[in-house]
Amino acid sequence: MSKKILITGATGFIGSFLVEKALEKNFEVHVAIRKSSSKQYLQDKKIIFHYLDFSSKEILKKELQEIKSQVEKFDVIIHNAGVTKAKNVKEYDTVNNIYTRNFLDTLLEIDFKPNLFIFTSSLAAFGCGKPGTTEPVMLHHEPKPVNLYGKSKLDAEKYLQSLEDFPYLIFRPTGVYGPREKDYYVFFKTINNHIEAYIGFQKQYLTFIYVKDYVNLVFKAIESNVRNKAYFVADGQYYDSETFSKITKKVLNKKTIKIKVPVSVVKGIAFLLENISKPFGKYPTLNKEKVYILEANNWICETEQLKTDFDFEAEYDLEKGVIETIEWYKKEKWL
């Protein structure tokens, strides 16, 4: 009999790849989506759809009870739903932290605990390595989230870890890129338009994980016996921001004009945009939260445990991943 998996945030970039991998691995695949969600990347007829409203424990309880009447127990739940770009500052905590708590509380309340609960956290929950160096952030370091997004993920992690007898794994991916992704896409599009923009004059060390590598890792972890641990996830290498641009320019075969904007200017613009937008209930794309991430200059993280515990090694380095990603953007006429 097929193992049963429930994936939240299945309609998004990473979620849609998790679903594809779960189908490939012959799981009975259940997805939790919202009425407003697009099913563009969830076309496989084998996918079983459920609607879950994490905002109300009462509604969530009814919805989960209904699922429980059909599925006795999930082997795995991947809680991948989350906001990386909130509409306002409060939304990070609401969706990433409170909704995760609501989900966990309700699973326990109705005795619907899975054999394994995987939480998609983020490297942002821990913050960065030592600024101005290439010293990585280590798993034993004290977490220092750089922004509210990171804090919301950390608070959810802490809650999950505080539960007794609840088998979990926490993954904290660094920047995930690949087909269907919409943030790095802006960077690729800018280079495609011959502009190479940098914030600040200091070297920034970046880390990446290609989405196919990320989902491979998750399923290696599911197949392992390791439980109740947390990991950073990256491809094991680090790249300075100029290398990222160089690889992209080479793949796109473009020449660019370099623009370097001082951090203080970007911060000033972000501050101004936030204040202008506030009376209209809007939250600008460039906001202070974003600047905290952009100005951090060392996103290197410890990844050795992924090899030790799951025998995981990334198949894609940045260049291989960027080639495949840009091929997809071109095929889909995004570039």
Ligand X SMILES: NC(=O)c1ccc[n+]([C@@H]2O[C@H](COP(=O)([O-])OP(=O)(O)OC[C@H]3O[C@@H](n4cnc5c(N)ncnc54)[C@H](OP(=O)(O)O)[C@@H]3O)[C@@H](O)[C@H]2O)c1
User: What is the contact surface with ligand X in residues (CB under 6 A)?
Assistant: 9-15, 33-34, 36-38, 54, 80-84, 95, 120, 122, 173, 175-176
- The nearest distance, CB 51 to ligand X, in angstroms, is 10
Which tokens belong to 29? Answer: 């695949």
Give 34 or 246: the residue with its C-beta nearer to ligand X. 34
Question: At a CB cut-off of 8 Å and minimum separation 6, what does 260 contact?
Answer: 197, 198, 199, 200, 201
Q: Spell out where the chain has E strands.
A: 4-8, 28-33, 48-51, 76-79, 116-120, 168-173, 175-177, 195-199, 205-206, 208-210, 229-233, 239-240, 257-261
Least distance from C-beta 85 to ligand X, angstroms?
7
Kindly tell me which of 186 and 276 has the beta carbon lying closer to ligand X. Answer: 186
Taking the least distance from each CB to ligand X, the nearer of 11 and 303 is 11
CA 200: distance to chain centroid? 25
- Please, what is the minimum distance in Å from the beta carbon of residue 280 to ligand X? 21
Q: Which is nearer to ligand X, 59 or 83 (CB)?
A: 83
**Is the CB of 127 or the CB of 256 nearer to ligand X?**
127
- Is residue 254 exposed (0-12), middle (13-18) or buried (19+ Cβ within 10 Å)? middle
To the nearest whole angstrom, how small is the minimum distance from the Cβ of residue 335 to ligand X?
19
DSSP states along 68-105: HHH-S--SEEEE----SS-SSHHHIIIIIIIHHHHHHH
Which two tokens mark 211?
A: 């989405």
By beta-carbon proximity to ligand X, the closer residue of 120 and 245 is 120
Neighbours of 44 (CB within 10 A): 10
CB of 9 to ligand X, least distance (A): 3
Residue 259 burial (CB < 10 Å; 0-12/13-18/19+)? Answer: exposed
Beta bridge partners of 257: 195
Question: What's the closest the beta carbon of residue 136 comes to ligand X, in angstroms?
Answer: 17
**CB nearer to ligand X: pick between 7 and 270:** 7
Of 111, 78, 60, 90, which is closest to residue 9 (Cα–Cα)?
Answer: 78
What's the closest the beta carbon of residue 324 comes to ligand X, in angstroms?
A: 16
Contacts for 25 with CB less than 8 Å, ≥ 6 apart: 219
